[in-house]
């Protein structure tokens, strides 16, 4: 099956192209379930195109950091995507321990975004940055516990070696642990993608926004980069979740890619359904949710070790 | 795939986490009702012979733990008009972490206990962790009602442990245990009702104000 060396790259490009549709799908599902029509699915594409044509306004208090952050954010998200074996067989980049790099790259992007928010000197953005950092600090342990569960269940240290046949084999003996890990990862992806119980992407009140308030000062192409990076991050977590729940092993590449794209859309619809039945939680209860996610994957870990 | 009884035991632990993490009293009662139903299925899954003894045990457990006690507790909520646990002694996130630590401890201790051969490796660790989590809820929550829930969970842990020995323990003992809890919760219900009427609150910390 070596006839398609381009397959990882092509899959990544397809996923990157599809990414802006995911928030649209999530919002559309939410609207449909709550009896509204909602924005078009492709709304984010139009938004990105519109923002791309606009000029940029930089505040005089900002420094180079502020201009750098959107690019780094998108670059780290795409790089993290190249670590995932999207077609179920191979990733673009792969080395032992690359799952730590995956988490680290996403953390680096967020770190720069937080710094950029503080760079503006706006008190609102500082508040948003502090909230984002708090949530991230609680989401990270849960993510790493999930990864530990995956490593222990499959005995591999490489994302591309792990998410495929070994994981499929591990579902037999370690099924409950993997299911708990997947549930915990779903909560983490809600937090990472700034979706409802953690953060409401549709709110426009500075006091309640978390992610949105951090990017208030970004405009034009910079804002487009940030919005797009957010969509890419959602796509990455959706495909990681999909790879755990439905491990794809030896299929034809075409089938695997089709399954990936459909599955990612399904995860987005699932997120929309969650948003339809839940309200955003009070900020001081969000850590509780993420600690519960950590406890779930911690329990999965205990099951694997016992 | 895992045998059915192991999945049931895992779900029991998850309901424990649910009770630890939720603030609403009605949700904790729903969780204990679910846990009672799971416990009622457990003997049937563990001993698939469908003997009269096992079926009676399952039916009795379901009637008491999944129907009767939750109904009593929801009635107590309605009469006392309390909805949430506001100020636990230990917060919700730390108590979740403590619960996870209790589970880890139980799973590390259980294999070292000198017990006769068991139907499932998970029985003992799950029962130990349920007992500890019940104790945690019993001691760290301030509302008297959720302390009753903690007592129930504690007892559920003992019940799971008893299931491992069900072939050696006569039926009468099991029935006696069920009756004991029933009476216990009944008395607690009355006490809770009186605390509420006396102090207009279910906060057990205020019991220190009792004078004669």
Are the beta carbons of A291 and B93 separated by less than 8 Å?
Answer: yes
Going by pLDDT thresholds of 50, 70 and 90, the confidence category of residue B34 is: very high
Are the beta carbons of A291 and B111 separated by less than 8 Å?
Answer: no
What integer pLDDT is reported at residue A234 of this predicted model?
92
Going by pLDDT thresholds of 50, 70 and 90, the confidence category of residue A75 is: very high
What separation in angstroms does the CA of A287 have from each of A16, B101, B114, B129?
A: 30, 18, 40, 24
**Spatial CA neighbour of B43 closest among B101, B106, B119:** B119
Whether ipTM exceeds 0.90: no
Among partner residues B93, B107, B121, which is closest to A288 by beta-carbon distance? B93
Nearest CA in chain B to A306: B107
Are the beta carbons of B1 and A176 separated by less than 8 Å?
Answer: no
pLDDT at A144 exceeding the cut of 90: yes
Are the beta carbons of A291 and B96 separated by less than 8 Å?
Answer: yes
What integer pLDDT is reported at residue B212 of this predicted model?
59
In 3-state terms, what secondary structure has residue A33?
helix
A41 neighbors A23 (Cβ within 8 angstroms): no
* Cα radius of gyration rounded to whole Å, chain B: 17
Which residue in this structure is represented by tokens 């008395």?
Answer: B187
Going by pLDDT thresholds of 50, 70 and 90, the confidence category of residue B28 is: confident
Q: pLDDT tens, A5-27?
A: 567 888 889 889 999 999 999 88
B200 or B13, which is more confident: B13
Q: pLDDT tens, B4-13?
A: 888 888 899 8
Q: Give, for B188, the enclosing helix (H) or strand (E).
A: helix B171-199
Query: Cα(B177)–Cα(B181) distance, rounded to whole angstroms?
Result: 6
Query: Cα(A299)–Cα(B192) distance, rounded to whole angstroms?
Result: 34
B159 neighbors B57 (Cβ within 8 angstroms): no
Query: Cα(A99)–Cα(A151) distance, rounded to whole angstroms?
Result: 10
| Poorest-pLDDT segment among B13-17, B121-125, B132-136, B202-206 | B202-206
What integer pLDDT is reported at residue A251 of this predicted model?
66
Are the beta carbons of B2 and A298 separated by less than 8 Å?
Answer: no
Are the beta carbons of A302 and B6 separated by less than 8 Å?
Answer: no
A197 touches chain B (CB under 8 A): no
Query: Cα(A187)–Cα(A178) distance, rounded to whole angstroms?
Result: 14
Interface size, chain A vs chain B, as Cβ–Cβ contacts under 8 Å: 49
All residues at 6 or more sequence positions from B165 whose CB lies less than 8 Å from its CB, including other chains = none
B210 or A37, which is more confident: A37
Among partner residues B6, B7, B99, which is closest to A295 by beta-carbon distance? B99
Q: pLDDT tens, A212-254?
A: 888 888 888 999 999 999 999 999 999 899 888 888 766 677 7
A contacts of B7 (beta carbons < 8 Å):
176
CA dihedral for B65, B67, B69, B74, sign (positive or negative)? positive
The string of DSSP letters for A66-112 reads: HHHHHHHHHHHHHHHHHHS-TTSS--SS--TTHHHHHHHHHHHHHHH
Q: Which of A102-116, A158-172, A242-256 has the highest mean pLDDT?
A: A102-116
Are the beta carbons of B92 and A294 separated by less than 8 Å?
Answer: no
| Mean pLDDT across B67-88 | 76
Q: pLDDT tens, B78-105?
A: 777 666 666 678 888 888 889 999 999 9
Among partner residues B17, B100, B107, which is closest to A306 by beta-carbon distance? B107
For the beta carbon of residue A155, count every other beta carbon within 10 angstroms.
10
Going by pLDDT thresholds of 50, 70 and 90, the confidence category of residue A52 is: very high
All residues at 6 or more sequence positions from A42 whose CB lies less than 8 Å from its CB, including other chains = A20, A21, A24
Query: Cα(A305)–Cα(B7) distance, rounded to whole angstroms?
Result: 17
A305 touches chain B (CB under 8 A): yes
What integer pLDDT is reported at residue B55 of this predicted model?
83
B contacts of A302 (beta carbons < 8 Å):
103-104, 107
Nearest CA in chain A to B19: A292
Mean pLDDT, chain A, rounded, equals: 86
pLDDT at B138 exceeding the cut of 60: yes
What integer pLDDT is reported at residue B209 of this predicted model?
66
| Residue B24 to chain A, least CA–CA distance (Å) | 13
A303 touches chain B (CB under 8 A): yes
Query: Cα(A248)–Cα(A267) distance, rounded to whole angstroms?
Result: 16
A176 touches chain B (CB under 8 A): yes
Nearest CA in chain A to B10: A176
All residues at 6 or more sequence positions from A14 whose CB lies less than 8 Å from its CB, including other chains = A257, A261
Nearest CA in chain A to B129: A299
Mean pLDDT, chain B, rounded, equals: 80
pLDDT at A1 exceeding the cut of 50: no
A88 neighbors A164 (Cβ within 8 angstroms): yes
B contacts of A184 (beta carbons < 8 Å):
none
């Amino acid at each position: 099956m070596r006839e398609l060396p381009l397959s990882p790259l092509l899959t990544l490009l397809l996923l990157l192209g599809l990414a802006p549709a995911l928030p649209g799908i999530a919002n559309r599902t939410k609207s449909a379930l709550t009896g509204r029509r909602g924005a078009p699915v492709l709304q984010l594409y139009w938004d990105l195109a519109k923002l791309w044509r606009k000029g940029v306004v930089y505040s005089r208090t900002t420094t180079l950091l502020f201009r750098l952050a959107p690019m780094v954010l998108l670059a780290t998200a795409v790089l993290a995507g190249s670590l995932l074996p999207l077609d179920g067989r191979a990733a673009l980049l792969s080395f032992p321990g690359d799952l730590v790099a995956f988490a680290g790259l996403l953390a680096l992007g967020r770190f720069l975004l937080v710094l950029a928010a503080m760079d503006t000197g706006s008190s609102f953005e500082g508040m948003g940055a502090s909230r984002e950092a708090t949530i991230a600090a609680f989401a990270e342990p849960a993510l790493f516990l999930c990864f530990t569960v995956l490593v222990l269940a499959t005995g591999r240290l490489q994302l591309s070696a792990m998410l495929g046949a070994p994981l499929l084999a591990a579902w037999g003996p370690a099924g409950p642990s993997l299911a708990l890990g997947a549930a915990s990862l779903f909560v983490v992806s809600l937090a990472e993608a700034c979706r409802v119980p953690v953060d409401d992407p549709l709110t426009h009140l500075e006091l309640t926004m978390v992610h949105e308030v951090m990017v208030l000062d970004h405009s034009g192409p910079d804002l487009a980069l940030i919005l797009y990076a957010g969509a890419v991050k959602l796509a990455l977590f959706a495909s990681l979740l999909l790879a755990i729940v439905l491990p794809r092993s030896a299929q034809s590449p075409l089938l695997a890619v089709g399954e990936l794209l459909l599955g990612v859309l399904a995860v987005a619809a699932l997120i929309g359904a969650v948003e339809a039945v839940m309200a955003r939680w009070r900020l001081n209860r969000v850590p509780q949710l993420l600690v519960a996610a950590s406890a779930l994957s911690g329990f999965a870990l205990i099951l694997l070790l016992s | 795939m895992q045998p059915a009884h192991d999945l049931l035991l895992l779900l029991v632990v998850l309901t424990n986490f649910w009770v630890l993490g939720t603030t609403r009293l009605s949700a904790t009662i729903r969780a204990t009702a679910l846990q009672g139903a799971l416990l009622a299925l457990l003997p049937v899954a563990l001993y698939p012979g469908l003997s009269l003894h096992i079926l009676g045990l399952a039916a009795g457990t379901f009637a008491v733990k999944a129907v009767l006690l939750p109904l009593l507790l929801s009635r107590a909520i309605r009469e006392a008009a309390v909805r949430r646990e506001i100020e636990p002694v230990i917060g919700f996130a730390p108590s979740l972490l403590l619960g996870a630590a209790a589970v880890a401890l139980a799973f590390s201790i259980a294999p070292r206990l000198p017990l006769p051969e068991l139907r499932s490796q998970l029985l003992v660790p799950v029962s130990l962790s349920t007992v500890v989590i019940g104790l945690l809820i019993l001691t760290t929550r301030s509302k008297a009602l959720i302390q009753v829930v903690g007592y129930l969970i504690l007892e559920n842990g003992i019940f799971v442990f008893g299931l491992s020995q069900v072939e050696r323990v006569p039926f009468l003992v099991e029935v006696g245990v069920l009756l004991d809890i029933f009476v216990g919760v009944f008395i607690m219900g009355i006490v809770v009702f009186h605390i509420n009427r006396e102090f207009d609150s279910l906060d057990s910390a205020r019991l220190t104000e009792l004078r004669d």
